[in-house]
Chains A and B, each alone.
Chain A
Amino acid sequence: MSVDMNMNILIVDDYKTMLRIIRNLLKQLGFNNVDEATDGSMALQKLRDKDYGLVISDWNMEPMTGIQLLREVRADSKLKNLPFIMITAESKTENVVAAKEAGVNNYIVKPFNAATLKTKLSSVLGNF
């Protein structure tokens, strides 16, 4: 099954520059419908208001962190199957294990490059 390049993608990060970087890299890969949120609670509201095909979220944010957002998404009957990629500087094993246990689809460690982003997207969404 081919990847819907017109899908809505929600990127979540409390650093505006990081949102801009991820948005630009997604655009280079052919994804143009990208929305932004600066913490988990804002993201959750957007996810409930609009259909998204993917969430790419930072971990360390306030007031709602990325892992809390992930748990909320997995606990929501309408959102529970939404692909979710964590993109974070939290690189300890315990973080990755916690994210996996919470139901993350993939995990990118900052700083990352465009090739890693593409590989992880392909892994979650399928080749494009």
Chain B
Amino acid sequence: MAKSAKPSDAGMPPELNARLTELQAQSRSPRREEVAEVVGEMLQSLEGDLSEINLKVYAELEGLAKYILAAKREIAALRPDDITSEHLPKATDELDAIVGSTEEATNGILQAMELLEGLTAQMPAEVAEQVTNAVTQVYESCNFQDITGQRITKVVKTLKHIEDRVEALVAAFGDEIQKYREMHPSEQQPQKGADEKLLNGPQLPDEAGKQADIDALLASFD
């Protein structure tokens, strides 16, 4: 059934709308002359005075719109939501783990040095002095833990700052990123090979398998 020709149909004049409806009802591809006729009618229906300057401005705006659209697609393809939900928190956790493990190692070194220093009373004076000097050097070198800890804290703060900015970007995009994801399912995370999937690096302390668990797993194969 043909649609009624009223101005509310995309703001088209009734005559033009009727002509388009007629062509649509003929269930065949329109001839070139018919298309030219409709386009001509459309151009005639345009209101206002389109000067050359206006057309240039429209062309610039159209170019700008296309550029923005392309930039948005590229940004959406970067999966900024993954950056805030996965990559940055993971990086922060890894850095925290570095601080924790270096602190633990440093404490272990200090404990051993304190034990050694305690034994100097039982050593000949000359040897005791040499051992004390060596222990002092170790104490001095253990300064690194504090310095690296502070540096890593600075990096974590920087990452948090980036995370906040990316979150703002994701919020500005609204559901556009999700739409892009749905339209481009093939661009999901690249598939890893079987061996590559096994390259996870050191696990975070809470996630790391305990030796006893691994031994039990190995034993289960026997």
A interface residues, Cβ below 8 angstroms from B: 13, 15-18, 20-21, 24-25, 28, 60, 89, 110-114
**Interchain CB contact (< 8 A) of B142 among A13, A21, A28, A89:** A21
Does B173 sit within 8 A of A, measured CB to CB? no
Q: For the complex, give the distance between the alpha carbons of A28 and B132 in Å.
A: 8
**Interchain CB contact (< 8 A) of B136 among A16, A17, A25, A111:** A25
Residues of A within 8 A of B144 (CB): 111
B136 touching A18 by the CB < 8 A rule?
Answer: no
Residues of B within 8 A of A28 (CB): 117, 132, 136
**Interchain CB contact (< 8 A) of B103 among A16, A24, A25, A114:** A16
Per-position 1/0 for B70-114, Cβ under 8 A of A = 000000000000000000000000000000000100110010011
- Residues of B in contact with A, size category: 10 to 19
Chain B residues numbered 140-164 whose CB sits less than 8 Å from any CB in chain A: 140, 142-147, 149-150
- Which residue of B is nearest A20, CB measured? B110
Does B139 sit within 8 A of A, measured CB to CB? yes
**Interchain CB contact (< 8 A) of A21 among B103, B143, B150:** B143
Residues of A within 8 A of B113 (CB): 24
B interface residues, Cβ below 8 angstroms from A: 103, 106-107, 110, 113-114, 117, 132, 136, 139-140, 142-147, 149-150
Q: For the complex, give the distance between the alpha carbons of A110 and B142 in Å.
A: 11
Count contacts between A and B, CB distance < 8 Å. 52
B146 touching A15 by the CB < 8 A rule?
Answer: yes
CB contact under 8 A between A110 and B103, given known A17-B110, A21-B110, A25-B139 = no
CB contact under 8 A between A17 and B139, given known A24-B110, A110-B147 = no
10 further A-B pairs in the complex, CB-CB below 8 A; given A21-B110, A25-B139: A13-B146, A15-B146, A25-B136, A28-B132, A60-B150, A89-B146, A89-B150, A111-B140, A114-B136, A114-B140
B107 touching A21 by the CB < 8 A rule?
Answer: no
Main secondary structure of the interface of B (DSSP, over half): helix
- Which residue of A is nearest B144, CB measured? A111
B146 touching A110 by the CB < 8 A rule?
Answer: yes
Residue among A15, A17, A25 facing the most chain B CB atoms (10 A cut-off): A17
Residues of A within 8 A of B143 (CB): 18, 21, 110-112
Residues of B within 8 A of A89 (CB): 146-147, 150
Which 10 residue pairs are nearest across A and B when measured between Cβ atoms? A111-B143, A18-B146, A17-B106, A113-B140, A15-B146, A17-B145, A114-B136, A21-B139, A20-B110, A24-B139
- Which residue of A is nearest B102, CB measured? A17
- Closest chain-B Cβ to A57's Cβ sits at a distance in Å of 13
Residues of A within 8 A of B114 (CB): 24
- Closest chain-B Cβ to A91's Cβ sits at a distance in Å of 11
B132 touching A16 by the CB < 8 A rule?
Answer: no
Residues of A within 8 A of B147 (CB): 89, 110-111
- Closest chain-A Cβ to B109's Cβ sits at a distance in Å of 9
A17 touching B103 by the CB < 8 A rule?
Answer: yes
Some 17 contacts from A to B, beta carbons below 8 A apart, are A15-B103, A15-B146, A17-B146, A18-B143, A20-B107, A20-B110, A21-B110, A21-B139, A21-B143, A24-B113, A28-B117, A28-B136, A110-B143, A111-B147, A112-B140, A113-B140, A114-B140
